[in-house]
Structure 1
């Protein structure tokens, strides 16, 4: 039975009880001379007793309907207020009612809703922080593992390649040149070892990239290229302009340079490498050019993590990366980044 139906039954019952009480009291105080007259008397063509009873029932029904719908409206408002527990519900379901019980309950629901929303926000913040911390931990582990691999490769494979290279160089210099075929084979082995050393240095640069560590971008580039110039048989030249950049922009450009140089050492088979850093109007331009064998940019871009990483780093600082590569003619990489003024930031 619904609240409206219950209120109608209660209203009709209360009206009949009230009618009986009033009628009984009246008849006790003013007893009628003839009880039959109460039935014979008519009002609006209806026997008086039937009219009074029907009127009482009608009044009870009307009262029950009014109070029933009033209660139903309040209960519906309370039920609707529970929708506030849903974080996506931004409506404020206020309950206007004079009953203290309903108003007090509504206030408690509202208070509980606010507490739950705060707890939801706190839970979401904790989840986000945990996800971020997890990502930081993963990146830390990856960095540590890359550094460990780089150290092991440098201490073992790289040193062994260096020893083998020195040994072959000594053999080629001291042995007689009587057997041209054997000499060519030894020279080929020596060249292969040199190429392996170059690729190993590029791999070490990729696994454990150098950091600026407080140096400017120009200083970091000079240090990196000077160190490579001593270790690889590659003609490296640079032309760098002096200007001030934000730390984040310097770091991203330096990482792009490292990745590009690593790719040149590993894949390009180049003899010359040129690096230019310049400021033109409101743009910073870093250009890296080699005379290697080139590659298909579109094919390599889809499957190369290194290339994709360079494109992403350029985009993160609002710039663009453009790579032009021709077979047997070399590769040209250009990172162009807008230099914002203090007002534009």
Structure 2
């Protein structure tokens, strides 16, 4: 309203000045003969001069109102065309309802390109920052895992080993003196040995999950050689170089750690066989032990480690199969398809026979794959 009144008043003053200038041009300087007629001449009892002022007021405010409405309409058109830019859309009105000057269209298009470019730049910067933070967090996690593993190995693990050796010596002395060791001493020795296995399983978990510059075969060989020196049971393995993506190798390495850790903690096995080979575009990883086994239906609902193995297998598009019979042993097998078109159906059949008869360790009696 203030804009309408101010603009109308300005136009009225201008028109009134132009009218006075026109009368001055026609009649000269105001005098009684000419200018007085503006008050004496009446139409509908209203002097001519008053009519002139009324007409000028109507013209002024009508023009002001029309201009204001056009400006508001143009603002609405511009707002309608620019609003999609805030919603990451591209919109330049082409119909007559929203048409405006070509110059403004060019400016709007340039503004659109600028906003989209800045939005993409901000998204890229945000993504790079998040990736850098994730990488830093992962590096710190690995460093902390390694630090904990070193401290546990140098302190608790060594103390458990010393306690185990001391108890073994005490058992031998008591057996030599009394013919047999006491049940309490034997039970204590068993508890310490089990604690050693738990500690070795924990250290296995704390190892770095990534292979870095090593292949999966190299990483698993290093893991198994180190493990052979620390456990009481026999470990046999057959490993082949299998071309896999880095992410799949890291997941399979973690699956191997998880499976061996479960074997250390729960299997009470005397023999463990590990197989990692490639057959007919499949990477096959298998861990088999002759331990106490379990009911698979019960393990699926209560085994956190087994759930981790299955979840990691699904994440890389592999299948995981667990076969276990109480008192006979357990087999965990993961099969991952690889992108390689070699071999034939006949070769595949022969190679599968080679896996079951030569390469892979035989399953415990009563266990079928």
Same fold (TM over 0.5): yes
Report the equivalent of 1:72: 72
Point out where structure 1 has 5 or more consecutive residues left out of the alignment: none
2:315 aligned with 1:313: no
Measure the CA separation in 1 of the matches of 2:139 and 2:90: 44
Alignment of 1:37-48 (within 5 A): 39=41
Report the equivalent of 1:26: 26
Report the equivalent of 1:188: 187
Contact 1:168 1:186 in 2 (8 A): yes
Measure the CA separation in 1 of the matches of 2:184 and 2:168: 13
Report the equivalent of 1:294: 294
**What secondary structure is seen at the aligned counterpart in 1 of 2:220?**
helix
Point out where structure 2 has 5 or more consecutive residues left out of the alignment: 94-98, 342-369
Deviations 1:122-155 (A, max 9, x none): 6655554444443333333332222222112212
2:237 aligned with 1:238: yes
Report the equivalent of 1:8: 8
Contact 1:288 1:333 in 2 (8 A): yes
Measure the CA separation in 2 of the matches of 1:139 and 1:159: 29
Measure the CA separation in 1 of the matches of 2:244 and 2:199: 32
Residue 265 of structure 1: how far off its partner (Å): 0.5
Measure the CA separation in 2 of the matches of 1:274 and 1:50: 115
Q: Give me the CA root mean square deviation.
A: 4.4
**What secondary structure is seen at the aligned counterpart in 1 of 2:133?**
helix
Contact 2:174 2:180 in 1 (8 A): no
Residue 69 of structure 1: how far off its partner (Å): 2.7
Residue 73 of structure 1: how far off its partner (Å): 4.3
Residue 33 of structure 1: how far off its partner (Å): 11
Measure the CA separation in 1 of the matches of 2:228 and 2:142: 26
Distance 1:275 1:250, change over 3 A: same
Contact 2:209 2:253 in 1 (8 A): no
Count of residue correspondences: 328
In the superposition, the TM-score normalised over structure 2's length comes to 0.69
Residue 215 of structure 1: how far off its partner (Å): 4.1
**What secondary structure is seen at the aligned counterpart in 1 of 2:28?**
helix
Report the equivalent of 2:358: none
**What secondary structure is seen at the aligned counterpart in 2 of 1:150?**
helix
**What secondary structure is seen at the aligned counterpart in 2 of 1:231?**
coil
Report the equivalent of 1:203: 202
Report the equivalent of 2:37: 35
Residue 294 of structure 1: how far off its partner (Å): 2.7
Residue 256 of structure 1: how far off its partner (Å): 1.1
Alignment of 1:1-345 (within 5 A): 1-28=1-28, 35=37, 39=41, 53-73=53-73, 88-91=87-90, 96=100, 114=114, 118=118, 125-177=124-176, 179=178, 182-209=181-208, 212=211, 214-290=213-289, 291-294=291-294, 296-300=298-302, 304=304, 306-307=305-306, 309-325=308-324, 327-341=326-340
Contact 2:38 2:49 in 1 (8 A): no
**What secondary structure is seen at the aligned counterpart in 2 of 1:287?**
strand
Measure the CA separation in 2 of the matches of 1:316 and 1:259: 15
Contact 1:3 1:71 in 2 (8 A): no
Residue 81 of structure 1: how far off its partner (Å): 8.5
Measure the CA separation in 2 of the matches of 1:37 and 1:156: 117
